[in-house]
Every structure is written in structure tokens, then in C-alpha cells.
Amino acid sequence: MQFWIIQGLNSLSLGGLLFLLSSGFSLIFGLMRLANLTHGAFFMLGTYLAATALRSIDGLNIWVTALGAGATVGAIGGLFERLVLTRLKSNPLGQVLVTLGMSFIISDACLTIWGGDSIPVPTPQNLQAPTRLFGFVFPTYRLVLVGLAIVAAILLYFLLERTRLGAKIRAGVDDRQMARAVGIPVSNLFTIVFCLGAGIAGAAGVLGGPILSAYPGLDADMLPLALIVVILGGIGSLLGAFVGSFIIGFIYTFGTALFPELAYIILFLPMIIVIAFRPQGLFGRVGA
Amino acid sequence: MKWIGAALLGGSLLLPPFLAGDFYINLASQILIAAIFALSLNLLVGFGGMTSLGHASYLGVAAYISALLTSRYGFGHGTAALIAISGTIAMAAFFGVIALRASGLGFLMITLALSQVLWGLAYRMSNVTNGDNGITGLTRPAPFGISLDNPVAFYWFSLIMATVAFLMMMIFVSSAFGSSLKGARDQPRRMAALGFNPWLIRWITFIYAGFWGGVSGLLYVYYHKYIHPSSLSITSSAEALLGVIAGGSGALGGPAVGAALVLLLKNYASAYIERWNMLLGLVFLFIVLVMPAGIVPGFSRLIAGRRGAQR
């Protein structure tokens, strides 16, 4: 019983991380029609920044680190969008290739700076003691992580559904040309959304650090998970990213625990089933 | 003029064994293998309008099947090659059914996700694939009793395979079916109205491209006598795609030139720097921003422009 409960919690915390990663990806895709293949690298960059910051600065809090790394990665993303992606507006294939090139550059730079060994990210001290609930023992940090993902989901929901900026973004997602025609500066929205998406990915990398630790290839491990979540949940849908993340979180965690060698094949299955019956994904409105 | 150029280029491929040392002959063999791989990807990218970021799947899976069958289960090279190619075709047929549910960026994301899953599998299923250590101690086949262990013999073998591949793909795209493929790329709805089935056309092309990807995978594993999960990685797919785009996806021979340039760059650069991936990324940015149509169309436009000026 303890096994199932713990693995269930692990699934939820991985699902939470995946939501933070894939919500930004999905938002960027929905608005810009751009598959941002740098997303895994942004996540990894966040993890490495956290590893260095938390080890070298005493008493630094992981939440502050997450905000700082999120801001840094978001700024890098914004610069990249302004300097490179805007030049390729009429060339969607070129944009994807450029994000791929950028992901190679970032991951290789990380390898140069931080070396090939994996670097653990310390769990916050006040969250190291396990929590006892209903006679079961839970790692506290993972519980907090699940809570954070839910808070982030609610905040993003309010940002998109209840604010003026969110209304503009939704207008841009639904009909970019009409949004331009009524005077919404869609190009500025692109930059904002790209910064936001990259920043959330960077912050997610920090928060995932204590669970995953920083290692070369983390980006290549996370990117396909984000892709599968988004394909499953529906591209451009926040709800889809949320539901898809937890489905993949469960399948991946239990798959790895029960059939370690087949976990990757099991990941296929939900994707294939969904694509066969609903090519636009569970909650997708936008056709890919 | 165009034919003279092609003949000169073709003729120059016969020279390396007589002029160059083993190092350059081996490099030339690698270029031929990369060229077959890039040409097969270009069937999808250039002629089908389907940008795949998972083409390494076919190279890697064919190579792994052949490596496993010959080294672990005692199969002969002929049988192993047949099984490897049939397996790759079956996989391409299956992946095609999944990936062709989407088009454009959705297609790209699905092909990428599928190939990343295979890459993860090759790493994690270490009792089958030997994981990060790769499979070593492989042999080269000896067709008709001729050993291919000598670089010159292997070069001739690769050249014959590359020529066959090039001709077969040329026939494929210039046939009536090739025209319907271009039709399905540019005007799928009109093609459907004319009674064609765009989905079926794309699916057949997907399988055909997977087949040639598998052939290049066999040559790859014969050449290296070693296989590692990195041959399935996104870097491997991306190198081929860079070759296609750098060479120009519109021209049939362009991707072969592009693949040669990528391979030369990789070999040349790795002698001086360790950071191949960084350079690959920078070249990606450069090509897309500066030469979006590719190097071969860029140069042929330059030459055409100069000739026009002389007149």
C-alpha cells in the first residue's frame, strides 16, 4: 500500500512539473504557431542555475531562486524572440529550426560550463523532514510541489481568462489577423508570451531540481515528455496541458516503477490512442 | 550545361580510390552514406512538404536490428539485412499512420516524440541494446565473397549503393506518382477533388523514405562496426535535416551536397574543437537566417545571374 501511495504522489509531483513545462509550450504554440524546441533546454538551464546558486550562496531560498532563474531564462527567451524569431515571421519551418539550433547551443553551453557529471540540487531544509498523514509517510517537498503546480495553474487561468492581457492573448490565439485589425499589438504579445513561457520553464527547472538533479541530457529527457503532454492534451489548451501532464505523470512514474525497461513504450500508448480518435488532442480546438 | 555539371560531379566520385589515402576514402564513404540518408529525408521534406525531425529512427533501428542479429543471434549478413529492412519498413508504416494524422508542425512534433522515445528505449533497455556502451565487435558483410574490410572495397560498395539509391529516388520523384506527391503537397484539396487520395500518397512516400533511411542505416553500421544510442538522437535527425536545408530541398541533388558539407564540417571541426553541438546550432541559425533557400539553389542562382549578365 505504501508503494502505491508514494508512487501516486511521485506521479502527481512529476505531473505538476510537466504542467509547468508544457503550459508555456502550449501557450507559445497556441499564440505563435511555433513549436518551441528550446523549451527543454530552458528547463535544464533553470536547473543548472539553481544548482550553482543554492550551493554557492548560503541561506538562499529555493523559491527566490526559482523566481530569479525564471526571470533570467525569461529574459534570454525574450531576447531570442526579439532578435531572431521576429525576423522569421513568414517562415514557420525556419522558426522551428532556429529553436532547435538554439537548444543545441544552450545544452552545449551548459555542458561546457557545468561539466558532464550530474549535480544534485539540495532540497530546502525545512522541507526535508517527511510528513505523516493518515499513517503514511510522504516526502514533504513533493507535496509542496503538487500544491505549487495547482496554484500556478489557477494563476495562469486567471491571467488568461480574467485580465485584459489574457483577453488579448486569447484573441490572438483565436484569430490573429482579426486581433491585429482591432488594434491589439500581437507582435508585442508574442514577446510577452515567449518570455512568460520560457520563464515558467526555467522556474520549473529550479523546482524540479531537488527531484531530478541537473545532468546533461535533461533537456532531451524533458522535451519529449512536454511534446507528448501537448499532443495528448491538445495544442494551445491550458486545461489540456493540465490533464495531459497528470496523465503522463502517472503513466511515466508507474511505468518506470513497474516495468522499468518498457516505460518508454508505455508512454506511446495514450498518445497513439488519442491521436487515433481525436487528432486535435483531448481538449484541443486549434488544429496542429 | 546542367548535365555536364552532373556528369563531372558523378565522374569525380570515381576518383577517390585512385588519388586519396585511406583517411579520405573513408571520409568519402561516410559522405555517401550521409547523402543517402539526407536524400531519403528530402523525399519527405522537399517533395512531400512533411518536415520530419525523427528520421534517425529508421537509420538507427535498421542498424540496431542488423547489429543485434549478426552479433548476438548468429544470423548471416544477408538474412539480417533482409529482416532489418523489413522491420524498418513495418515501423515506418506504423509511424506513418500515427504521424500523418497531423500535418505541418503537428507532424514534426509527433515524429520528434516518436524518435525520442526510441532513443530513450535504446538507452534504457540495456540488456538488449547494451545501453550507453553500444554494441561493439560487429563485422562487415562480404557480398559475393568480396571482403569489405578494406576501405577501397567499402567505398566501391557504398558508391554502388548510393548510385542505386539516387537513381531509384530520382525515378520515384519524376514518375507520375512523384507528380501526385507534389500535387498533394501544394494543393491537397484539389488533388482530393481530382480523385487522388493525398493521405495514401503521403503514407507511401513516408514508407519509401523510411526504407532508404533503413538502407543508409545498414551502411552506417557496416562502416562503423559499432552502434550507439546517439545514432537515434535528435542530433542525428537534425544533422540530416540541416543537410537537406543547407543543400536546398527543392533540388534532387541538393541534400547530398548539404549532407557532404555537414559531414566535412563535423569532421574538420572535431579536430579542433570538442563542441560539435554548439557549432551545429550556430550553423542552423546561420543557414536559416542568411541562406533560407539553401546553398545549392543559392549558387545556381548566382551562376545563372552571371550568365544572364554576360548575355
CATH number for the domain spanning A173: value is 1.10.3470
Sign of CA dihedral B207, B210, B216, B222: negative
DSSP state of B30: H
Q: Stretch B87-112: mean pLDDT, rounded?
A: 89
Question: Which chain B residues are closer than 8 Å to A112 by Cβ?
Answer: 275, 278
A214, A111 Cβ separation under 8 angstroms? no
pTM of the model: 0.85
A15, A249 Cβ separation under 8 angstroms? yes
Residues spanned by the domain of A186: 2-277
Would you give the distance in Å from CA B290 to the centre of its chain?
Answer: 24
Q: What is d(CA B193, CA B197) in angstroms, rounded to the nearest whole number?
A: 9
> Which residue type, as a one-letter code, is found at position A117?
D
Q: Whose CA is closest to B114, among B91, B137, B135?
A: B91
H or E, element range at A133: strand A131-133
B163, B155 Cβ separation under 8 angstroms? no
B102, B108 Cβ separation under 8 angstroms? no
Q: Whose CA is closest to A229, among A12, A39, A25?
A: A25
Chain A nearest CA to B276, separation (Å): 9
Each residue's pLDDT tens digit in chain A (288 positions)? 778 888 888 889 899 999 999 988 888 888 788 888 899 999 999 999 998 888 888 777 888 888 999 999 999 999 999 888 888 877 777 888 889 889 989 988 998 888 888 888 888 877 777 777 777 777 888 888 888 889 999 998 898 889 998 888 888 877 888 888 888 888 888 899 999 999 999 999 999 988 888 888 888 888 888 888 988 888 778 888 899 999 999 988 888 888 877 777 787 778 778 877 777 777 776 544
Instruction: Considering only the beta carbons, identify the residue of A87, A96, A107 that sits closest to B108.
Output: A96
Cβ contact (<8 Å) for A224 and B109? no
Q: Is the pLDDT of residue B1 over 80?
A: no
Chain B nearest CA to A3, separation (Å): 23
Question: Which chain B residues are closer than 8 Å to A97 by Cβ?
Answer: 241-242, 245, 284, 288
Number of domains in chain A: 1
Question: Which chain B residues are closer than 8 Å to A33 by Cβ?
Answer: 105
Q: What is d(CA A186, CA B310) in angstroms, rounded to the nearest whole number?
A: 47
What is the pLDDT at residue A288?
42
Number of helices and strands (H, E) in chain A?
11, 2
The per-residue pLDDT for range B22-77, each reduced to its tens digit, is 888 888 899 999 999 999 999 998 888 888 989 999 999 999 999 999 888 888 88
Q: What is d(CA B82, CA B70) in angstroms, rounded to the nearest whole number?
A: 12
What chain A residue is nearest to B109 in terms of C-alpha separation? A227
DSSP state of A32: H
The per-residue pLDDT for range B217-275, each reduced to its tens digit, is 999 999 988 888 888 888 889 888 888 888 877 677 788 888 888 888 888 877 777 77
Any idea which of A1-5, B47-51, B120-124, B185-189 has the lowest mean pLDDT? A1-5
Say whether the ipTM exceeds 0.90: no
What is the pLDDT at residue B311?
44
How many CB atoms are closer than 10 A to CB A132? 9
Cross-strand partners of A132: A137
Q: What is d(CA A167, CA A176) in angstroms, rounded to the nearest whole number?
A: 13
